[in-house]
Amino acid sequence: MRTATWNVNSVNARLPTVLAWLEAAQPDVVGFQEIKCVDEKFPREAFESLGYNVETHGQKTYNGVALLSKYPMSEVVRGLPGEDQSGVEAEGVHSRYIEALIECPRPVRVGCLYLPNGNPVESPKFAYKLGWMERLEAHARALLAQEEAFTLCGDYNVIPTPEDAKDPKAWVNDALFQPESRAAFRALRYLGLSEAGELGKQPPGTFTFWDYQAGAWQRDHGIRIDFHLLSPQAADRFRGVETHRDARDMEKPSDHVPVVVELED
């Protein structure tokens, strides 16, 4: 089973590009982040025509996540459990998490997340980011207690190590690279979750994001912030990982690229 994560940076603005990638890559399950639309405006029919079931947790203009699956989905959860229901960037609740049990022959639970950016560090947004990561850790603990195969995939908005940036010095004042953000990511890993890039021995420089500005893509000034974290039961089924760098060179691309993990059926 091939499961992908991709921050599409507005699904409607980039629909032809997203559909072209799906038809070429043929993932079984996809988690989208930053769909940037309410549920009613999500282009459901376009994805259903490719054989996908669709579940969304949308938000107007900002954030928003979605799950697509060629298998039935059940036990759908919208919103990170324990969320305090208060945002600092927009009115109401941020739509940043969706989860479902994928009803394939050997079921896998998939959580798709868009972790808060947290900038600027001096603002309440950074505290919101760290609080969100605490809630994610608590939820991961609860999932691990069920002893089932699951993956928490998405845009983590964390640069875990200096090797995950082409120019680490450029990020020292950014929320993505703060010691607190990196420590929270390590704490999540230390629960017993395996990172797919490490399992697949992806080399340094396997970036997943390049800013639109300052020629970052052309100069390969990227960072790695999109991850699949696998439970032990999912890691036992791990067969490979692919970072689809070429998607950044497609027409009207997202600033992120898809990361695809293959699990044994």
Query: How many other C-beta atoms are found inside a 10 Å radius of the C-beta of residue 147?
Result: 9
Q: How many domains does the chain have?
A: 1
Q: Which residues contact 65 (CB under 8 A, 6 or more apart)?
A: 31, 32, 33, 35, 56, 57, 95, 96, 97, 98, 112, 113, 114, 154
Give residue 88's pLDDT. Answer: 47
Find the length of the chain.
Answer: 265
Query: How many other C-beta atoms are found inside a 10 Å radius of the C-beta of residue 172?
Result: 9
- Written as six digits, the tokens of 134 are 């605490």
Residues labelled catalytic: 114, 155
Q: pTM surpassing 0.75?
A: yes
Residues of the chain with pLDDT under 70: 84-92
Give residue 84's pLDDT. Answer: 59
Phi, psi of 92 (to 5 degrees): 80, -160
Alpha helices in the chain (DSSP H): 15-25, 44-48, 124-145, 179-190, 196-199, 232-235
Query: How many other C-beta atoms are found inside a 10 Å radius of the C-beta of residue 17?
Result: 16
The range of the structural domain enclosing residue 23 comes to 2-263
Give residue 93's pLDDT. Answer: 73
pLDDT digits (tens, 9 = 90+) for 16-65: 999 999 999 999 999 999 999 999 999 999 999 999 999 999 999 999 99
CATH code of residue 66: 3.60.10.10
Amino acid at 217: W
- Written as six digits, the tokens of 26 are 């043929």
